[in-house]
Amino acid sequence: MLVSGGRRLRTVLQAQRWPFQQSRDMRLVQFQAPHLMGPHLGLESGNGGGVINLNAFDPTLPKTMMEFLEQGETTLSVARRALAAQLPVLPRSEVTFLAPVTRPDKVVCVGMNYVDHCKEQNVPVPKEPIIFSKFGSSIVGPYDEVVLPPESQVGASPLPSPVAGAHHRALSAQRPA
């Protein structure tokens, strides 16, 4: 149910105990919900707030973040209008957040880029950035579990790494010549 008028809309949402905060602290998200087919784009209100369904506001919008971002200012202006319209939000408990970008071509990462992280790991702050890559299939949603093979061992770093001398099904026992 869409209701015109910000004051009336807030009253209706609060009466139904839907999370609604008038805030500019919004972020773009990809999400799924049981009553929706496939992924949708939305605006999350604050951290843990409800989600405005951008695809319901404008069904012509793309349903993936990559397509949305590729269209630039055209789609961003639609998101701004949706925010200004103060639409009803889907309660956070009814949506599942997806990865910000699904199936990326490349994932380039920068490691040890926070002084606090280096201190926490008890390592010196690098003089140059530490760049590494990941497979696109390693990208998961913000609340999804990271699934590791049973033989994986995780050390001080949150990244899984093989242990020297241990047998791993994914690693060959032969050394390169």
Q: Is residue 20 scored above 50 in pLDDT? A: no
* pLDDT tens-digit series, residues 165-175: 444 455 445 55
Q: Where are the domains of the chain?
A: 26-97, 107-138
Beta strands in the chain (DSSP E): 26-32, 40-45, 51-53, 96-97, 107-111, 130-134
* 1 token code pair: 């149910």
pLDDT higher at 16 or 72: 72
Taking the model in full, what pTM does it have? 0.62
Q: Is residue 13 scored above 80 in pLDDT? A: no
Question: How many angstroms from the chain centroid is the CA of residue 36?
Answer: 18
* pLDDT tens-digit series, residues 41-96: 999 877 777 999 999 999 999 989 999 999 999 999 999 999 888 888 999 999 99
Which residue blocks in the chain are alpha helix, DSSP H? 6-15, 54-57, 65-70, 73-84, 115-121
Residues 6 or more apart whose CB falls under 8 angstroms from that of 19 comprise 45, 49, 50, 89, 91, 92
pLDDT higher at 24 or 109: 109
Q: Is residue 161 scored above 80 in pLDDT? A: no
Residue 19 pLDDT: 42
